[in-house]
Structure 1
Amino acid sequence: MPQRRSHVAPSAAQTELAAALSGLRVNLDAPVEFPTAVLAEAEQATASQPELDLRDIAFATLDPEGSRDLDQAFHLERDGDGYTVRYAIADVPSFVAPGGAVDAEARRRGQTLYAADGTIPLHPTVLSEDRASLLPGVDRPAFVWTFSLDSAGAVTAFRLERALIRSREQLDYVSAQESLDRGDDGAVTLLPVIGALRIEQEKSRGGASLNLPDEEVVRAPDGAYAIERRQPLPVEDWNAQLSLMTGMAAASLMLDAKIGVLRTMPQPDEKSFDAFRHQTAALGRPWTTGRYGDYLRELDRADPLTLPILEAAASLFRGAGYVVFDGTAPADAMQAAIGAPYAHTTAPLRRLVDRWSLTICLAISRGEEIPDWVRESLNELPALMQESAQRASKLDSATINCVEAALLTPFVGTTIDATVIAVRDDRATVQIAEPAVTASAPVPAGTAAGSVVRLSVRSVDIAEGKIELVP
């Protein structure tokens, strides 16, 4: 699916939109400023020097352009007919004192929030964008996972160590993809090879990826807000496989030790599968045989009916949550979409739970006792993460609603074509191509997903993020 960006042009709409976006933080009770005590503690925070020195390894990071909160760095090399993957994770546990002011504030926030008018970080930026971040050209303590892969990309062995590293390059997705397309040698040369092998491993596990197009509110240099929708680049999918591999390794360590926190998701039930089969048949792209993950992977991203199918498939990816355990492994430890037990472990600068996962895994790897603060607070994590996830979801949806209302402001009183994505009763979710807006509208009985309808833009309310469309 090609990239599409629609801008909010009229100055009056821009002014109203800026006020609406600013108000979202207050309405959602999203903490913005850090208390003085938190900032003071963060300024003084230092990490102990790791005994292991891996600064001779040419690590690199790969993130969206302009990122400063760099959680992961990687190094890939061939090893006979297999591969060695080193995956370094920012050593946030060493910078955050358990029970301290930074720890308490991070528990209140849960995760970094990405607002249209700036991020609301989990940790003070002196940590998240400086001392703890795996920025290039500076020494950083890190949790380094080392994986041995065979020729098929299967993990044959792994270990976790705390080490001093120095990233050599800060890469972004677009330039990295362009470099690979040109055939350049560099830090990402082996990423398509290893990433493709890991995707094949995912297939063999019965894993599935939804891969809906990204929808993001961005701000242009002139201050204009826009909605950008695009299909993730291949390099993003390959890079994600390194993170998934690490999360599965962390889960296996914690399950063996019978203590930890997993990210789980149940397998869809037969009722959900049946409903999805009916939807694909109605759209003329029936899923009749094989696993649903294989069906989704084989969809043609250029087909206009693929988006309605992926929207329908979202019902198969529900019920994700966190399960904590201490002493007895959970009866159902699976993350169905991944096809294996899995733990959030690779984004401690931006997600609270990863600090617990990393601390537990390092203690297990060293044969040490799990720290008391981890055991005492483990049961709090699911509620803290659920609360922060709800806040993030509300912020994301409210932001997009406000921007979409602003985008449609010049079209009030006019008619516009839209593609029907999904139909429920007498209303449909529709996609307008230009400006790029997803909305809800009443439709005549018998309207099918994939069809094009003509709608009138009756009214918009930027502050409330509301759009009224009628046939």
Structure 2
Amino acid sequence: MARRPSGPPAGPAPLPSKEELRRFLRAATGRVGKTEIARHFGLSTDQRPALRDLLRSLKEDGSVAPAGRRGVAAPGRLPEMAVVEVFGTDPDGDPLARPVSWPEGSGRPPLVLMRPERPGQPALAPGERVLARLKYIGAGRYEGRTFKRIGSAAPLRILGVYEHGRIEPTDRRQRADWTVPEHERHGAEPGEIVLAEPLPARALGPRPARVVERLGRVDDARAVSLICIHTHGIPDRFPPEALAEAEAARAVPLDGREDLRGVPLVTIDGEDARDFDDAVFAERDGDGWRVLVAIADVAHYVRPGSALDREARERGNSVYFPDRAVPMLPEALSNGWCSLKPREDRGCLFVEMRFDASGKKTGHRFGRGLMRSAARLTYEQAQAAMDAGTDPDGVPAGGMPALNGAFRALLAAREERGTLDLEMPERRVLLDEAGRVTAVVPRARLDAHRLIEEFMVAANVCAAEELERRRQPCMYRVHDQPSAEKLEGLRQFLETFSISLPPAGQVHPRSFSHALSIVRGRPEERLVHEAVLRGQSQAAYHPENIGHFGLALQRYAHFTSPIRRYADLVVHRALISGLRLGPDGLGEAEAERLPDIAEHITRTERRAAAAERDAVDRYLAAHMAHRIGNHFDARVSGVTRFGLFVTLDENGASGIVPLGSLPDDRWTEDEGGRALVGRRTGLRFTLGQAVEARLAQADPRTGSLVFHVLGGAGSPASGGGRGRGAARAAPGRGPRRRS
């Protein structure tokens, strides 16, 4: 807030109004006192009593809150020092915390982004409590720096494997075992996965716990996803009232809808897809193309304020594991009335788009319809048809060539726009009929995948544009450009490969695409792709638009997957309201809650991504457990002061090489952390370096892998030496594509 004009005063400045004082406190970064307020508003000493009365009045109506001995702050603000508890980490590994004390009825507690007080300070672990210096940074968030470590709060629940009177946690962040008194095991047998809760204990000695739920055998093939569901706190049971609402669903009537049943729309999904929420059609339109994208009408079934709506919002999104899905909606909807099954009538929201020959959009319109999918195609079937220029069974003549032609036009427009296209191979876990891992392979990246992606991106852009045009609230999918700090770190890393980036302020998505093109086909390609990915900001949901940097788009919203993403359901409701397509649109009360909803579903999306990566890591560890002692071609993918991380060429498995397993030497990180150097031997391990690695340990319970380095350019011929103990594996790579 700007100060009032300075200069020779003609007399005392007027006392600020209540609203002026509220605005000043909201803009302040923390506690302020009467002196700061008086100075800001140019008040005299004689006006102090009146200022005190004004502040007292604002305290009484809740407009300001006491802060410290004599200060005040905007309501809901944390003090400059507070006890916070770490509950997780952000994508960069920095701790996230919440205040331990937060008044009931005050909404969701603010988020504290913890920063190290000094270089080399030990990292904070989930559950740890610290007294932190806090600085308000806006949007209900604080930056925190540790002043004093207080200790760890006992976890509310412990997930682990029961073994003869003790529990071995499955969460790699919990290092201590728990003891279970005989009368508290409640029938648990050795080798069972259990949920337990802590019992009161003395300060010293093992910590006791009681078993509260038995979840199944750890050697069961379905144990991996079960562990991940509980480790990450993913809701996996629907309340009875939500199930009852889903079971009561019936077919959508044609009343008031546009009849699209004569349009040969097709769904194109993975072979293992469990729900079909989008269908596509294309045809020639003069020199350009007419494209229709139809999306399941979830809003017809999931009404605001219903039990289904409350549960879908709480889950935020579906979560997919190799052996099961945890859906956002009950199966009666997700695999039933909301799934666009072939040759069955389904309600839909659709967007009809027209593009010229160069892929530039010339117009669009939205509607609510009744459709009937002509065919359900897999990506492989669609790709074969695209390659052959023919149509698969069930697709009318010319349907697939028209889809391919429209896709090529949109692809040309995308390349002209200059988007960031990271080709990170997603790992696919193959299971046999018994649920055991047979292989972990890269998931194929076909033009058929890109076809659907381009059509969905175009539809999402239209949704954001339509809502803006009609002045409706919108749940944007936003992606900020990289921070200056991340950009500088990436710049230094790329310089080791003789790759340069433009100056700050001139970086465009095509800058990164150019860097990736330089290393295409080179040994360090994967490493550079991962570094560029880590150098980006994370996409998020927000009702305020800042654009989508990665896609080089000014406005973007998720519209195309309402079965599995709550954000898309919100966008559907906003379109229904704006286009007056029915009574089940976005209400005023829900629109006011969009900031909180956006923050919540952003967190649930990241929770789902972490759980899915965790599952792949654990499946990989189970798959690798019988290969202990085998040698693998690998590359150094991380360098730390406590060892190396390596990634196998064969399947992308990542694990740690403990410092103690390297030859006896004084190992130090070089400046920038891109190499580990032996001071005595001169041996050097650098990022991207090819090495031969021997698998030393594999723990399916935690998903951790430990390797010893055997060879590689500039590395020792043997990894013998001082092998002492195991270390935890790094989180796996290969995230799902989430634009």
TM range (shorter): 0.7 to 0.9
Residues 109-164 of structure 1, C-alpha deviation per residue, up to 9 Å, x if partnerless? Answer: 11111123310111011111111111110111111100010111111110100011
Q: Is the 8 A contact 2:318 2:326 kept in 1?
A: yes
TM-score by length of structure 2 reads 0.57
1:260 aligns with 2:474: yes
The match for 1:74 among 280, 287, 298 is 280
Distance 1:296 1:252 in 2: 32
| Bigger relative CO (Cα 8 Å, ≥ 6 apart) | 1
The match for 2:610 among 378, 389, 394 is 394
Letter in 1 for 2:235: P
Q: Is the 8 A contact 1:407 1:435 kept in 2?
A: no
Residues 272-331 of structure 1, C-alpha deviation per residue, up to 9 Å, x if partnerless? Answer: 44433443342366667983254167467544322111111112332321111xxxxx4x
Farther-moved stretch of structure 1 (143-152 vs 281-290):
281-290
1:92 aligns with 2:305: no
Q: Is the 8 A contact 1:42 1:127 kept in 2?
A: yes
Q: Is the 8 A contact 1:311 1:422 kept in 2?
A: no
TM-score by length of structure 1 reads 0.88
Q: Is the 8 A contact 2:281 2:403 kept in 1?
A: no
Q: Is the 8 A contact 2:296 2:347 kept in 1?
A: yes
The match for 2:370 among 164, 183, 189 is 164
Structure 2 stretches of 5 or more lacking a match? 1-216, 392-397, 660-675, 678-683, 710-739
CA shift at 1:14, angstroms?
9.3
CA shift at 1:69, angstroms?
1.1
Q: Is the 8 A contact 2:479 2:549 kept in 1?
A: yes
Q: Is the 8 A contact 1:208 1:294 kept in 2?
A: yes
Distance 1:51 1:16 in 2: 48
Farther-moved stretch of structure 1 (172-181 vs 81-90):
172-181
Counterpart residue number, 1:15:
219
SS in 2 for 1:353: helix
Farther-moved stretch of structure 1 (153-162 vs 388-397):
388-397
Counterpart residue number, 1:339:
552
Kindly name which structure, 1 or 2, has the bigger radius of gyration based on alpha carbons: 2
Distance 2:516 2:467 in 1: 30
1:30 aligns with 2:225: no
Counterpart residue number, 1:200:
412
Residues 222-253 of structure 1, C-alpha deviation per residue, up to 9 Å, x if partnerless? Answer: 53224221341121112101111111111112
Counterpart residue number, 1:361:
575
Q: Is the 8 A contact 2:276 2:340 kept in 1?
A: yes
Counterpart residue number, 2:460:
247
Q: Is the 8 A contact 1:263 1:320 kept in 2?
A: yes
Letter in 1 for 2:440: I
C-alpha change, 1:441 and 1:354, in structure 2 (3 Å) is same
SS in 2 for 1:15: coil
CA shift at 1:414, angstroms?
4.3
Distance 2:700 2:218 in 1: 10
Distance 2:345 2:610 in 1: 37
Counterpart residue number, 1:327:
none
Counterpart residue number, 2:708:
470
C-alpha change, 1:90 and 1:299, in structure 2 (3 Å) is farther
Q: Is the 8 A contact 2:516 2:529 kept in 1?
A: no
Letter in 2 for 1:470: H
Letter in 1 for 2:566: L
SS in 2 for 1:335: coil
Counterpart residue number, 2:421:
209
1:460 aligns with 2:698: yes
CA shift at 1:258, angstroms?
5.0
C-alpha change, 1:76 and 1:422, in structure 2 (3 Å) is farther
1:178 aligns with 2:392: no
SS in 2 for 1:304: coil
The match for 2:311 among 81, 94, 105 is 105
C-alpha change, 1:283 and 1:262, in structure 2 (3 Å) is same
1:411 aligns with 2:411: no
CA shift at 1:467, angstroms?
1.4
1:438 aligns with 2:654: yes
C-alpha change, 1:360 and 1:21, in structure 2 (3 Å) is closer
Distance 2:363 2:628 in 1: 61
Q: How large is the Cα RMSD of the aligned pairs?
A: 2.7
SS in 2 for 1:391: helix
Letter in 1 for 2:435: G
Distance 1:454 1:87 in 2: 49
Counterpart residue number, 1:133:
339
Q: Is the 8 A contact 1:191 1:235 kept in 2?
A: no
CA shift at 1:373, angstroms?
5.0
CA shift at 1:456, angstroms?
3.1
- Number of residue pairs matched by the alignment: 453
Q: Is the 8 A contact 1:122 1:351 kept in 2?
A: yes
C-alpha change, 1:394 and 1:294, in structure 2 (3 Å) is closer
Distance 1:57 1:243 in 2: 18
Counterpart residue number, 2:594:
378
1:307 aligns with 2:526: yes
The match for 1:150 among 338, 342, 356 is 356
Q: Is the 8 A contact 1:17 1:402 kept in 2?
A: no
The match for 2:245 among 26, 38, 41 is 41
Q: Percent identity?
A: 26
Structure 1 stretches of 5 or more lacking a match? 1-12, 325-329
